[in-house]
Amino acid sequence: MIPLLKKIFLVDLFQGLWVTFRNQHPKHIYTEQYPIQRPKVAERYRGAPRLNINPDNGETLCISCDLCAKACPENLIVVTSVRNEQTKRKDLTTFTYDTSRCMFCGLCEDACPVDALELTQDFELASYTREGLIWDRQMLEEGPKPTQYKA
């Protein structure tokens, strides 16, 4: 008898609708209005790579040890350097990073002994060309500059 009445009065339907109704409140909104409202990503976010420079004198922190290139599973980092006769150390000449093949696994940043290479919180990496995805040293030091939209 009761199941029949439940059927007639569509109890299960109203039960479900009540759940939907409870979730109508604006505090349940989860959608981000992306280009206008920019999400705040986590501190440890693994996004665009950056080659850190020493803030005091503007020199690169990278010591051209090539460890990042060796650690990368995709083999996409190319580091070249020349030997400086005065300081007896290697000076970085070029640093190429192919973001189109990168999977942002973080192995290169783990391998870097001086924290020169870092994956940062920038997540907008799109480019109009394939070549634009291959970042050189300058690009890596400056970071991407995505267009910012204002509401």
Partner 1 sequence: MAQTFLDSNELVLNMGPQHPSTHGVLRVILKLDGERVNGTECVVGYLHRGVEKIAENRTYQMFAPYVDRMDYVASISNGLGYVLAVEKLINVETTPRAQVVRVILTELNRIASHLLWLGTHALDVGAITPLFYTLREREEILKIFENYCGARLTTHAFRIGGLQYELYEGFEREVIAFCDWFMPKVAEYEELLTNNRIWRDRLVGVGILNAADCKRYGVTGPVLRAAGVKWDIRKALPYSGYEKYEFDIPVGTNADTYDRYLVRMEEMRQSIRIVRQAVGAIPEGPIMAKVPKVLKPPVGEAYVSIEAPKGELGYFIVSDGSINPYRLRVRPPSLINLQALDQMVKGALVADVVAIIGTLDIVLGEIDR
**Of these partners, ligand SF4, partner 1, none, which one is at the site of residue 79 (CB under 5 to 8 Å by kind)?**
ligand SF4
108 binds ligand SF4, rule: CB under 6 A: yes
The verdict on 105 binding partner 1 (CB under 8 A) reads yes
Among residues 1, 5, 8, 19, the one that binds partner 1 under rule CB under 8 A: 19
CA atoms lying within 13 Å on the CB side of residue 11: 7
Cβ pair 60, 87 in contact under 8 A: no
Q: Which does 28 bind (CB under 5 to 8 A by kind): ligand SF4, partner 1, none?
A: partner 1
Smallest distance, ligand SF4 to C-beta of residue 125, A: 12
Chosen residue from 102, 135, 140, 144 binding ligand SF4 by CB under 6 A: 102
Q: Which does 114 bind (CB under 5 to 8 A by kind): partner 1, ligand SF4, none?
A: ligand SF4
What is the C-alpha separation between 48 and 9, in angstroms, rounded? 57
CB of 107 to partner 1, least distance (A): 7
Q: How far is the CB of 27 from ligand SF4 (least distance, A)?
A: 37
Return residues touching partner 1 (CB under 8 A).
7, 12-13, 15-16, 18-20, 23, 28, 30, 41-46, 71-73, 103-107, 110, 119
